[in-house]
Homo-oligomer: A and B are copies of this chain.
Amino acid sequence: MKIFIRVMKALSDPNRVKMMKLLQHRPLCVCEIKECLGIAQSTASKHLKILEDADLVRSFKDGLWVNYSLSDGNGSPFAASMIGNLKHWLGNDAQIQRLENILPGIDRHNIVGKG
């Protein structure tokens, strides 16, 4: 039950759902995500931790950067199922589409104030 609630809570916030949708395209570092969503770096980092704790996302370091990507779902069946659902959900959402449009132009090397 606790694990299920943790997954539902993680997906109860618009910014976190947006992150999940962005990560469907490619792994992203924290600064790319905060840039895309237009939020503070600390806010992005905290949201990603919540997604990671729910097994929806995983991270691996690449030097100074930390890359986040969708989890493979081996951790929790609830998370795995929701990751699958989200692949074909919200694709026609206006907010999501706007983010997906600007995502290709987002590059970690061109971001000014990273934190």
Contact = CB atoms under 8 A, between A and B. Distances in A.
A90 interface: yes
Interface in A1-45: 1, 4-5, 8-9, 11-14, 17
Given A1-B96, A8-B17, 10 more contacts: A1-B14, A1-B17, A1-B93, A1-B95, A4-B17, A5-B17, A8-B11, A8-B12, A9-B12, A78-B89
Interface of A: 1, 4-5, 8-9, 11-14, 17, 77-78, 81, 85, 89-90, 93, 95-96
A41 B99 CA distance: 43
A23 B11 CA distance: 23
Nearest to A11: B8
